[in-house]
Amino acid sequence: MARRKKPMYPMFLDLEGTDCLVVGGGAVAERKVESLLECGAKVTVVAPQATDALRSLAAEGKTEFRERAYEAGEAAKYFLVIAATNDEAANKKISEDARAAGRLVNVVDVPDLCGFYVPASVRRGELTIAISTGGAAPALAKKIRRDLEAAFPPSYAALLEKLREFREQLIQSEPDEKKRMRIMSKVAASPQIDMFLRGDEAPLEALFKECV
């Protein structure tokens, strides 16, 4: 396997309402479909066979399921394409079609055929932490994800909601952008943040009132 010489460009995609294709009907494809739907994507699944869960998603109108093999050139119709089949020739063709059309493509567990990687990730509400090893060691990425899950408890989701609300209030009450940035930095670095994460919300609420 050739070593990738240049680093990948990290980014987060807004897939709301975007046409995406998943080729494959097994457990891996099922996970990919679920993650795309979570982001609001419009998902089409192409596979001769599919898991019960994938069929249920189609029956509920959440995806479109085409019960057949991939057709040449089909990938060009979609913004993002994921190949999750056990057929090496099919995966290669899907990658070639997508790349020729300038589409984003990921072939599961075949880095050389990928235009992007799907990182291991930790989600806590609006907080998303993504980890990639550039395809070199996915198992290490998973280990790092487990470490981060322990370091960033679920309470971060509620914290982000509070900080969003406070920032919106601050925008309304403080016209000076630089001053707003200083206030937000002060809040983010305050011990009240750690208190909130441990379940004591009152100190952070008091800090908000002092700053607005």
Same domain, 176 and 201: yes
Same domain, 26 and 112: yes
Same domain, 105 and 188: no
The pLDDT of 10-23, averaged and rounded, is 97
If one counts the domains in the chain, the total is 3
Alpha-carbon distance 75 to 102, whole Å?
Answer: 10
Indicate whether 62 pLDDT > 90: yes
CB 129, CB 148: distance < 8 Å: yes
What is the DSSP-derived secondary structure letter of residue 112?
Answer: G
Same domain, 133 and 189: no
Indicate the residue among 117, 144, 172 that finishes a domain: 117
Q: Look at residue 7 and tell me if it is in a domain.
A: no
Q: Which residues form the domain of 173?
A: 155-211
Report the CATH number at residue 144: 3.30.160
pLDDT at position 56, please? 98
Same domain, 111 and 23: yes
Mind listing the pLDDT tens digit for each residue in 159-192?
999 999 999 999 999 999 999 999 999 999 999 9
Report the CATH number at residue 72: 3.40.50.720
Mind listing the pLDDT tens digit for each residue in 185-202?
999 999 999 999 999 999
